[in-house]
Structure 1
Amino acid sequence: MTDLSNKVVWITGASGGIGEGLAQRAAARGAKLILSARREAELERVRQSLPRPQDAALLPVDLTRLDDSQALAAHAAGFFGPIDVLANNAGISQRTSALETGMPAYRQIMEVDFFAPVALTQALLPGWLQRGSGHVAVVSSVFGHIAMARRTGYAAAKHALHGWYDSARIELGDKGIRFTLACPGFVNTNVSVNALGPGGQPWGKDDVHLQGGMDPSVCAEKIWQAVERDQYEVLIAGKERIAVYFKRFLPLRWYTAFARKLKVN
């Protein structure tokens, strides 16, 4: 079991949405927090909303420009001591078809959604191995299991996360290092507004499915509960979980026909 009380927890994408929820719920459990995102003013807003702002530190970072993850991890450990739990939550989505998505957009998605989480994890692994403990929670998506139109890059990055972390668990899971993959479905966040649209520009539009989705604080609570239980993976979804089972258990041609009929932004 992973107890967050008095643990040092580093959360990326902590300036809003699920990341803000993760910060609130971890603080309620007595954790000391390092909050990372690009927008320092929003990070400060989140910090001030916590029950003990003095137990949270800000570490602004642009994950598309993660030049030295080792130095960043050392900086993070300088606040409250070695990192116990890393919550890789930061991510960016997409609202363009394969034909209208350029390679710069694909690279940006992969940098934020795949390479950055892996780089931060690898920066912490040596210390975790030395101490014999450490836990990384990865906010993936139902798109780590399924595919959909206008999500080629996003689904690819989330599928890649599952491949890397499942493999790392096989290598390191018996050495005190734990890996939890969280796969949310529709959560009421700004992920659609901030997603990459044509030309790599922000899509700038909300998604009706997300508007009616789970409260991000509820999603965050389910993620921490999975971490506390040392679950390998948790699917946090409503009716959209049906698509995951559909893809897993039925012929792929059936799922493809089903997905092709869906109207997606």
Structure 2
Amino acid sequence: MTQLRDTTIWITGASSGIGEALALKAAESGAKLVLSARREAELQRVRTACADPSKVAVLPLDLLAFDGGDAVAKAEACFGPIDVLVNNAGISQRSRLVDTSMEVYRQLMELDFFAPVALTRALVPGMRTRKRGHIVMISSIAGRIGAPQRTGYSAAKFALAGFTEAARAELWRDGVRFTAVYPGYVRTQISVNAVKGDGRANGVTDHNIAGGISAEDCADDIWDAVETNQEEVMMGGKEVFYERLKRYAPQLFSFALKRSTPKA
């Protein structure tokens, strides 16, 4: 089992939402934390809110422009080797295929897929040497269901799911564990910060997001999955049912999905 107490945990996207909730919960459990995001002031706010700020370090990081090896060296300079990496940083999308620029598609893939791959790749050698380590990949239900107006986001999250499954199969003998997390609708700023087809922020909260589960409940489920070494965990409401429907009745699922999609 992966215990949180006295474990060194690195969380990306820790300045708000699920990342912030994960940090606060882990701090309550006695973990040492390295918090990363672009907004240093917000990271400092989260650090101050943690149970013991002296066990929390802030490492500002732009995951669209960074060096994985350098980032890992800075993170491990805080409290020593990283035991658990939570790849939580990411951005969503709210635009149709025909309205989305290739620049936006590349941004989505860079942040939602290539950045977590780069951090994982940089950390794994040390974990293999120590014969222990845990990588937590925050994917999405959109990484299991091709959600309309999220073609790039779904593509990146599907890719992340495949990478995680393959990496788990390669590295389990070396003591490196992987937990893939598939949240559904969670009450965060994800839809506000989502990119439109031209790269502008969406700026509004979807009604599905507004009616989702809390970030705190999501964080509880994630840490429970990590501590019990679950390989996958999914949380949410009706969207979890849709994932099951796709698996067991794919034609019915396709029929329903197409008819739930607004016309252009």
Q: TM-score range by the shorter chain?
A: over 0.9
Query: How far apart are residue 59 of structure 1 and its match?
Result: 0.5
State whether structure 2 residue 189 is matched by structure 1 residue 190: yes
1:174, distance to aligned residue in structure 2 (A): 1.9
Superposed, 1:225-264 pairs within 5 Å as: 225-251=224-250, 253-263=251-261
TM-score, normalised on structure 2? 0.97
CA contact (8 A) 2:195 2:202 kept: yes
Counterpart amino acid of residue 37 in structure 2: A
Deviations 1:88-115 (A, max 9, x none): 0011000000001111101111111100
Secondary structure of 1:200's match?
coil
Q: Which amino acid aligns with 2:161?
A: H
Separation in structure 1 between the aligned mates of residue 14 and residue 64 of structure 2, nearest angstrom: 16
Structure 1 counterpart of 2:233, which letter? V
SS in 1 for 2:86: strand
For 1:2-21, list aligned pairs within 5 A: 2-21=2-21
Q: Do 2:104 and 2:197's aligned partners in 1 also have CA atoms closer than 8 Å?
A: no
TM-score (ref. length: structure 1): 0.97
Structure 1 letter corresponding to 2:253: Y
Matched, 1:181 2:165: no
What letter is aligned with 1:29?
S
Q: Does 1:143 align with 2:142?
A: yes
Distance 1:187 1:43 in 2: 20
Look up the equivalent residue of 2:163 and give its one-letter code: W
- Aligned length in residues: 263
**Residues 156-167 of structure 1: pairs in structure 2 closer than 5 A:** 156-167=155-166
Residue in structure 2 matched with residue 46 of structure 1 by the alignment: 46
* Alpha-carbon distance in structure 2 between the residues aligned to 1:168 and 1:193: 32
SS across alignment from 2:179: strand
1:206 Cα deviation after fit: 0.8
Superposed, 1:90-109 pairs within 5 Å as: 90-109=89-108
For residue 27 of structure 1, give the secondary structure of its aligned residue in structure 2.
Answer: helix
Aligned residue in 1 for 2:167: 168
Rounded to whole Å, the distance in 1 between the matches of 2:205 and 2:261 is 15
* Structure 1 residue 256, shift from structure 2 partner: 2.1
Q: Provide the alpha-carbon RMSD of the alignment.
A: 1.2
Distance 1:263 1:153 in 2: 16
1:261 deviates by 1.9
Matches of 1:199 and 1:28 in 2, distance apart? 41
Tell me, which stretches of 5 or more residues in structure 1 are unaligned? none
Paired residue type of 2:205? D
Q: Partners of 2:51 and 2:92 in 1: how far apart?
A: 31
Percentage of identical aligned residues? 50
SS in 2 for 1:135: strand
Partners in 1 of 2:61 and 2:70 — Cα distance?
Answer: 12
Match of 2:29 in 1: 29
Equivalent position of 2:216 in the other structure: 217
| Whole-angstrom CA distance in 1 between matches of 2:99 and 2:196 | 9
Find the counterpart in structure 2 of residue 60 from structure 1: 60
Q: CA deviation at 1:14?
A: 0.2
Give 2:144's aligned amino acid: H
Structure 1 residue 65: Cα displacement: 1.0
Please give the alpha-carbon distance, in whole angstroms, between the structure 1 residues aligned to 2:260 and 2:58.
41
For residues 110 and 156 of structure 2, the distance between their equivalents in structure 1, rounded to whole angstroms, comes to 9
Paired residues for 1:50-129 under 5 Å:
50-66=50-66, 68-129=67-128
CA positional deviation for 1:263: 4.8
Matches of 1:248 and 1:89, distance apart in 2: 26
Residue 171 of structure 1: how far off its partner (Å): 0.4
- Using the alignment, how far apart are the partners of 2:172 and 2:160 within structure 1? 16
Structure 1 ranges of 4+ moved more than 6 A: none
CA–CA distance in structure 2, aligned partners of residues 7 and 140 of structure 1: 23
Return the alpha-carbon distance in structure 1 between the equivalents of residues 173 and 143 of structure 2: 24
Contact 2:182 2:233 survives alignment (8 Å): yes
